[in-house]
Structure 1
Amino acid sequence: MAGLTDDEWARPSLCGEWTVEEVVAHLTAGASVGTVRWLVSMLGARFDADVHNRRRLAAHRGATPAETLARYRAIVTGTTAPTGDVPAWLGEVIVHGQDILRPLGRAYAPPIESVTAVAEFFAARDFAVNSRTLVRDLRLRADDGPFTAGDGPLVTGGTLALTMAMAGRVTFCDELSGPGVPVLRSRCTS
């Protein structure tokens, strides 16, 4: 990210209405708060995750993209997290990494073992994203790793594409095949 231009920092990400810089600030926020502060923030937001995320993002976004990046670099080796759900926070990094990279025309495939752990977590629960709800009554099967989940019309493709679709990123449905894809596509929100 160090070589990004101002225009690239301001580019819309795949994550709702957030820019690339805002996604980086969101990642910084998530890795900067422990359980108690996270609960206090969620209580203050009346358990509205959007309100909570906007406030935390604003607190961790710098005055410039360089400052936002410096704040992110400062937490990269940290171990602070709101909960002990490691796959959820690994999912934050994988999903938001793709949210940033795709609009910039760059590619990075995280290790299949990491993405599989996130896919299994997403298929089993609605936490951070409504992933389990998105794939309800669908059968998912990765063609590049061991991930499988669910029953119903088949959706097949790469583990990363399946994971990103479970995170609601409709553009990744283009990389999937099978009779369940139209249903999944209709459920995705971004």
Structure 2
Amino acid sequence: MTPRHNPEVWPVVHDERLALLRDLENLSAKQWETQSLCPGWDVHDVLAHLTDSAKATRWGFIRRMVLAGFDFDKDNAVGIATQRCVDPAQTLAGFRDVLGRTSTPPAAPATRLVEAFVHGEDIRRPLGMRGDYPASPVAKALAYQLRTSVKMGGGKERAAGYTLVATDTTFGHGAGQEVHGKAIALLLAVSGRPVAPDELTGPGAGAFVERTRG
């Protein structure tokens, strides 16, 4: 089954895009400038990136990577510059136009879930918002990140030596000291995002949080 036609992924992604759109519809100009959880990107940048990613196609992605010299950061910067408008309302309108798209770069279907959940929190947490994410699809995104090297945008190395246990769905991974938390908190941590100390518990929680922050 191709990523473009995966029925376990796209309904969730579409729901998450719509939920994010609704959360951002009434932001002030100052809020759009809020630093996101992505270093160097504000909230406006992350939304532009999500729009650019939603428009990506397999061959278009390959072509752009060639032009960027296979530099992901450079390609992301080009995508943000293309989709970010002077007026955030126009950028939001562009995001609205891609809500139902199923185009994708040449990547595993779970990457679409990772992007929806992690970038959703990249935006929401600095704004004092929290998303209501479905635990089972979040766990699928988490499982993908745990199989994927940090060099490829995953979190395999960050979780090495720990047993991660989700408290809101059936999920366990690894060997070592246990770390317990909601699937979204575990996903953010292994993806290199900061989480609050009280979001993760268990004998390995403290050291695990310190590692993921590093």
State TM-score, norm by structure 1: 0.92
Q: Given the alignment, which residue of 28, 41, 44 partners 2:67?
A: 44
* Structure 1 unaligned residues grouped into runs of 5+: none
Aligned partner of residue 164 in structure 2, secondary structure:
strand
Give the aligned partner of residue 143 of structure 2: 120
In the alignment, structure 1 residue 132 sits paired with structure 2 residue 156: yes
Q: Given the alignment, which residue of 78, 82, 86 partners 1:63?
A: 86
Amino acid at match of 1:148: G
In the alignment, structure 1 residue 149 sits paired with structure 2 residue 170: no
CA RMSD in angstroms comes to: 1.7
Give the aligned partner of residue 20 of structure 2: none
Higher mean C-alpha displacement, 172-181 vs 117-126: 172-181
Give the aligned partner of residue 34 of structure 1: 57
Percent identity over the alignment? 33
Give the aligned partner of residue 120 of structure 2: 97
Assess if the C-alpha contact under 8 Å between 1:13 and 1:20 holds in 2. yes
CA shift in 2, pair 1:130/1:189, >3 Å? farther
Spell out structure 1 runs of 4+ moving beyond 3 A.
none
> Post-superposition shift, 1:174?
4.3
Aligned partner of residue 106 in structure 2, secondary structure:
coil
In the alignment, structure 1 residue 161 sits paired with structure 2 residue 185: yes
Assess if the C-alpha contact under 8 Å between 2:147 and 2:154 holds in 1. no
Q: Which whole-Å CA distance do the structure 1 matches of 2:62 and 2:149 have between them?
A: 18
Amino acid at match of 1:39: I
State TM-score, norm by structure 2: 0.83
Q: Which whole-Å CA distance do the structure 1 matches of 2:184 and 2:82 have between them?
A: 30
> Post-superposition shift, 1:181?
2.6
> Post-superposition shift, 1:163?
0.6
* Structure 2 unaligned residues grouped into runs of 5+: 1-23
